[in-house]
Amino acid sequence: MKIEEQPTTVIAVAHLIGRVEQFRKGGFRLVQMNATQVGDEFEINYSFEKDYRFENLRLIIPAETEVPSISGMYWGAFVYENEMHDLFGIAVKGMNIDFNGNFIRTKVRYPFRNPTFQGEGPCQRK
């Protein structure tokens, strides 16, 4: 039995701001944003909720595509957008607080983009 329905709508980058604005005006809160690398592309999910109704918008973009920030509508989005930039190297344009790659400081640049697992030991070689 599904705990809840989780509809996901795939949209183009050009429609992102308009669709997010609709959620904003509809009284939805921003739950999270995340990125997933699928081959040479990235999937970016934007999750919203109102009265326990959970909905997602999804962008599927080539790796070097710049996406617009939604922090103008959801101020708190800067944590997710900076995280996406620092871990995946996704360029986000117009963030209200841009840490310029210093929000999550990592030894390896963009560690979640093609992770290499350096330094693995014998117990990991299964």
Q: What is the smallest separation between the CB atom of 33 and another protein, expressed in angstroms?
A: 9
Give min distance, CB of 6 to another protein, in A. Answer: 6
Contact 42, 63 (CB under 8 A): yes
Give 14 or 116: the residue with its C-beta nearer to another protein: 116
50 is written with which tokens?
A: 């109102």
For another protein, the closer of residues 14 and 50 by Cβ is 50
Residue 13 Cβ vs another protein, minimum distance, rounded to whole Å: 20
Q: Where along the sequence are the contacts to another protein (CB under 8 A)? A: 1-4, 6, 29-32, 34, 36-38, 45, 47, 52, 54, 56, 74-76, 78-80, 83, 86, 97, 99, 102-106, 111-112, 115, 117, 120, 124
**Pick 31 or 91: Cβ nearer another protein:** 31
Return the structure tokens found at 53.
């109704």
| C-beta atoms surrounding 13 within 10 Å | 14
Burial readout 37-68 (b: 16 or more C-beta within 10 A, e: otherwise) = beeeebebebbbbeeeebbbbebebeeeeebb
